[in-house]
Every structure is written in structure tokens, then in C-alpha cells.
Amino acid sequence: MTDSKLFEFRYGEHLISFMRVTRKSDSHRILIKVHPDCRVIVSSPVDANNEEVLSAVKKRGRWIYEQLRDFRKQLEFSTPRQYISGESHYYLGKQYLLKVIEAPEQAQGVKLLRGKLEVSVRTKSTEKVKELLTEWYKVRAKEIFAKRLEAMLEQTLWVDERPPLRILTMQTQWGSCSPNGRITLNPHLVKAPRECIDYVILHELCHIAEHNHSERFYRLMGQVMPNWDRIKHRLDSLANHTISIESNIK
């Protein structure tokens, strides 16, 4: 009988998640395996405490990071997700394992529970799981984007009133701003960390004052988010291994 729990640790600027799986064994070794789908599984004895496991994982931090980096490069050319249990999916920059539950008597839906994205379906179907997850992301995106827009408006004094917000899946853009000031955001952006969401929103709010990427535009960006270029780089790098696999967003 095994038990599992999700942990995370920092390697430099990178936050790496791993699943600890306990085992009953005479061996006291802590075993670390990085899977091709970028799941990090750490098998440890039942009597090993969390501090011991974290310490062992951190010692192998560089190796884990390099394995993940190489596998992510491979995933850029991999087949689309299968939407089955064990896959990694992202929400607000964190990695969650997908768990598909076949429950004919329960309502179909998605729950974020104990470090997992649990999807309940009446009968297991890739298309149904994908449909439910897509809708869940859109609902979360609408709620979170609205809150972050309100927060970012406090910094953009040139915006007189709250601009209308639309959620729309786009193939090549995180966001856009129409000539009349309507902001459109891609629901896939909700998979990225909050600072990346804030960056995209501020980018579009700056376009309300300056529709081109002019010197004035970048001056505004620098005023409201001095480290915007670092955050943009982070978002670009995240897109390669958390989002572009299924949506071709870059």
C-alpha cells in the first residue's frame, strides 16, 4: 500500500513540483525519477520524514532541472495531451496531476483537490475530459482576470473607467486591446503565474494610452512594472512547455 503527496522546491528561479510516494521496504534509499511527461516522482520509505525527502531532492536539484529541461524540449514536438490520469496540467503557474474519475452517479465536473485536478465523468472519454477541463479553465480565467484587472487599474491612472473584458481563446496572442479600449485575454493565460497575468493585463492597459509599441508605450510599462521584461521572458519560457503543446501559443 502506498501513499502520495505533492511537494515543491526552488532551484534558482525555478519552482519544481514533485510527487512523494511512500513505500514499505527494507531499503532506506530515496529514489528520484523524472518521467518523459515531466512528472517528478520521489519514492521514499514510510519512516522518512518530509525534511529528509526535501533535503535529498534539493541535493539532486540540478540533475532534476536538467532532466526536466531536456524532456520539455522533447515535448514541444510531442503528440497532444491524452487527458488521462497521471498527466501534468498547470494552473496559476503550479503543476497539478490530472486524476480522471469514472462515476456514473455523480455530477460531471472538475475539482482542484489536494494538489490534483480531479475530473469526474460518467464514462471515461478523452473528449469529455478535455471539454470539462477547458470549461473549468475558462470559468477560473473569467473570475481571476476580472480581479487582476481591478488590481492593475489602480496603477494605470490614464485609464478613466474600467474597460470591458472578454475571454477568448486565441492561437498566437495572450491578449489584445481594441481601438475602443476593450481588452481580450486568452483563457490559457490562467495556467501561468499571477505576475505573468498581471504583465499581460498591464501591457494591454498601456495600449489604451498608446496603441503602438512606441517609446512612450515602453516608458509606461516601465513605470507600472519595472521588471516587465523579466516577467515576459518567464511567460515566454513557460509557454514552451506548459501551454504550447496543446494550443500552439507562443
The CB density around residue 249, as the number of other CB atoms within 10 Å, is 19
Averaged pLDDT for residues 34-40: 83
Tens of pLDDT along 107-125?
A: 899 999 888 999 999 998 8
Contacts of 32 (CB under 8 A, 6+ apart): 18, 40, 41, 42, 43, 56, 57, 60, 64
Domain segments of the chain as ranges: 3-75, 88-134, 140-247
Average pLDDT over the chain, rounded to an integer? 86
Q: What's residue 73's pLDDT?
A: 67
Q: Who has greater pLDDT, 26 or 47?
A: 47
Q: What's residue 2's pLDDT?
A: 47
- Burial grade of 180 (CB within 10 A; 0-12, 13-18, 19 or more): exposed
Options 3.30.2010.10, 3.40.50.300, 3.40.190.10, 2.60.40.1120; CATH for 140-247 is 3.30.2010.10
**Which residues lie across from 9 on neighbouring strands?**
16
Q: Give the confidence band of 198 by pLDDT, cuts at 50, 70, 90.
A: very high
pLDDT at 248 over 50: no
pLDDT at 222 over 90: yes
Tens of pLDDT along 143-197?
A: 999 999 999 999 998 998 999 999 998 777 899 998 889 999 999 999 999 999 9
pLDDT at 203 over 50: yes
Is-contact 11 34, C-beta < 8 A?
A: no
Averaged pLDDT for residues 128-150: 96
pLDDT at 250 over 50: no
Q: Give the confidence band of 26 by pLDDT, cuts at 50, 70, 90.
A: low
Residue with cell 505573468: 196
For β-strands 14-23 and 3-11, DSSP reports them as antiparallel
Is-contact 16 32, C-beta < 8 A?
A: no
Residue 248, phi-psi category: left (phi > 0), alpha (psi -120 to 50), beta (remainder):
left
**Which residues lie across from 123 on neighbouring strands?**
none
C-alpha dihedral, 132 to 134 to 135 to 138, nearest 10°: 160
Contacts of 12 (CB under 8 A, 6+ apart): 65
Averaged pLDDT for residues 19-39: 83
Starting from the edge strand earliest in sequence, which strands make up the sheet with 3-11, in order? 3-11, 14-23, 40-45, 31-34
Tens of pLDDT along 48-102?
A: 899 999 999 999 999 999 988 877 766 654 456 788 888 888 899 888 999 999 9
